[in-house]
């Protein structure tokens, strides 16, 4: 539930239209989502092995810190807080507010709904890991039910479906086709992103070497199945052209299948799905800032935990406050582009740590146990290459938004230097 909840947010209900605007045949659209699923599964393999090797709080932050240098881990945590996690959460929060207001017809501001939602979920997750995880599991079950209902209604009740076979390419094989496919992969990969967040709480999972590895693989495989089913139904019900012209594909599919009642049902499903994603994000990512603070490269107060619930309350509150700031100042499309560029830059870099850890293990003991990535090193190299190609293509297609993310990343270097210098002075005084 934690792995799937970190992946399934609002993207699967909305991003199909963004993909259809780039690719104009049903086979190409489905191929893009299948390719995104394969990349996510490769990432799941890599992170499963990393979790087995280092089952500690912090996930990617800890892998980069221990494989390379504390500065590498800090830069990841820095952009996670300022761009990746809060940017993705802001986009999903805005989406929730829109669908919530469409469902309730309340005459209040989207901003009020967004702030209230984040505040309530923050409070729930500050009550303890058990409370937060129970809420998360319940919301994930409801999400799966909503997706299954959408797929079932779309398969059985659409009277005049479009064909999903036929011409594959919508233009000759060319650079234009490749860049269009790459641009289509941005919203696909954004929708598939999130499997890595389960690793943030590895230190709080029972038997993480076994359970987290299994959860990653089962969770990613489950999401691939759900996503392909949803997109098959969308192109079957609306056709590629119709899918490209709507901003609410899931709602339109259900309206065709069941009228306005169906549209209302899927709107409720989307709202629940976004809540589940936000709850999972608030539960997991603050563990990175907690780990940074414990290492002395972030505000010491962020490392404090509640004595009763053992929850890093300050880390959770910090992330939620910054998410509110981003949600109130950014647009969905801008957020999408700079989150994807930063996320996949660090996906690729984190995957390279597997080579470092394997080499160290051979030098130290010569024998290894636990989960191992199938097809390594070639599958790992493929994941790294695809991740960095996504970054390059995102910069090429959306330079202004992508470069904003890199500017924030580079700003982290002097910030790390100041914090590490302060930490050094503190150690000297001790």
Share of the chain above pLDDT 70, in %: 94
Total domains present in the chain: 1
Mean pLDDT value of segment 381-409: 85
What's the first-to-final CA gap in the chain, in angstroms? 44
The pLDDT tens digits of the residues spanning 162-181 come to 877 777 787 778 788 888 88
Measured CA to CA, the distance from residue 209 to residue 204 in angstroms comes to: 12
Share of the chain above pLDDT 90, in %: 23
Confidence of residue 361 (pLDDT cuts 50, 70, 90): confident
DSSP state of 83: I
Residue 427 pLDDT more than 60?
Answer: no
Domain span holding position 221: 2-429
Measured CA to CA, the distance from residue 267 to residue 262 in angstroms comes to: 9
pLDDT at 354: 95
129, 204 contact by CB (below 8 A): yes
Average pLDDT score, the chain: 84
pLDDT at 106: 86
3-class state of residue 395 by DSSP: helix
pLDDT at 353: 96
Confidence of residue 268 (pLDDT cuts 50, 70, 90): confident
Confidence of residue 78 (pLDDT cuts 50, 70, 90): very high
The pLDDT tens digits of the residues spanning 121-149 come to 898 888 766 776 777 778 778 888 888 88
Confidence of residue 368 (pLDDT cuts 50, 70, 90): low
Residue 400 vs residues 235, 297, 361, 403, 407: alpha-carbon distances, Å: 31, 30, 42, 5, 11
7, 220 contact by CB (below 8 A): yes
Which residue in this structure is represented by tokens 């989307």?
Answer: 270
Kindly state the tokens that stand for 309: 């619930």
The 10 Å CB-count burial string (b at 16+, else e) for 315-329 is: bbbbbbebbbebbee
CATH number of domain containing 17 = 1.20.1740.10
Kindly state the tokens that stand for 277: 């994603």
Which has the higher per-residue pLDDT, 196 or 314?
A: 314
């Amino acid at each position: 539930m934690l792995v799937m909840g970190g992946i399934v947010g609002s993207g699967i209900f909305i991003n199909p239209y963004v993909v259809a605007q780039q690719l104009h045949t049903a086979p190409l659209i489905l191929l893009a989502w299948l390719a995104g699923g394969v990349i996510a599964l490769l990432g799941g393999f890599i992170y499963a092995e990393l979790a087995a090797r280092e089952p500690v709080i912090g996930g990617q932050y800890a892998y980069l810190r221990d494989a390379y240098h504390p500065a590498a881990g800090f830069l990841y945590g820095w952009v996670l807080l300022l761009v990746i996690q809060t940017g993705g959460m802001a986009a999903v929060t805005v989406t929730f507010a829109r669908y919530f207001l469409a469902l309730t017809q309340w005459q209040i501001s989207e901003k009020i709904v967004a702030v209230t939602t984040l505040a309530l979920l923050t409070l729930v997750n500050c009550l303890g890991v058990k409370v937060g995880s129970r809420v998360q599991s319940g919301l994930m079950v409801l999400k799966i039910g909503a997706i299954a209902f959408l797929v079932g209604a779309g398969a059985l009740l659409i009277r005049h479906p479009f064909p999903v076979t036929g011409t594959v390419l919508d233009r000759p094989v060319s650079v234009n086709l490749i860049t269009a496919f790459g641009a289509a992969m941005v919203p696909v990969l954004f929708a598939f992103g999130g499997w890595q967040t389960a690793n943030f709480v590895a230190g709080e999972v029972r038997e993480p070497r076994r359970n987290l590895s299994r959860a990653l693989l089962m969770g990613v495989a489950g999401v691939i199945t759900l996503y392909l089913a949803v997109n098959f139904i969308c192109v079957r019900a609306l056709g590629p052209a119709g899918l490209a012209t709507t901003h609410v594909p899931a709602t339109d599919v259900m309206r065709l299948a069941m009228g306005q009642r169906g549209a209302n049902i899927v709107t409720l499903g989307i709202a629940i799905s976004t809540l589940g994603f936000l709850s999972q994000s608030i539960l997991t990512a603050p563990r990175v800032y907690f780990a940074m603070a414990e290492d002395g490269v972030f505000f010491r107060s962020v490392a404090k935990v509640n004595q009763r619930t053992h929850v890093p309350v300050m880390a959770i509150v910090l992330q939620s406050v910054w998410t509110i700031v981003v949600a109130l100042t950014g647009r969905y499309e801008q957020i999408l582009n700079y989150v994807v560029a930063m996320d996949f830059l660090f996906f690729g870099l984190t995957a390279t740590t597997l080579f470092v850890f394997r080499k160290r293990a051979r030098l130290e003991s010569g024998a290894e146990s636990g989960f191992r990535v199938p097809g390594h090193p070639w599958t790992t190299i493929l994941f790294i290459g695809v991740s960095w190609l996504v970054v390059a293509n995102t910069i090429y297609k959306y330079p202004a938004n992508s470069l904003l993310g890199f500017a924030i990343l580079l700003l982290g270097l002097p910030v790390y230097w100041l914090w590490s210098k302060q930490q050094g002075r503190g150690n000297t005084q001790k």
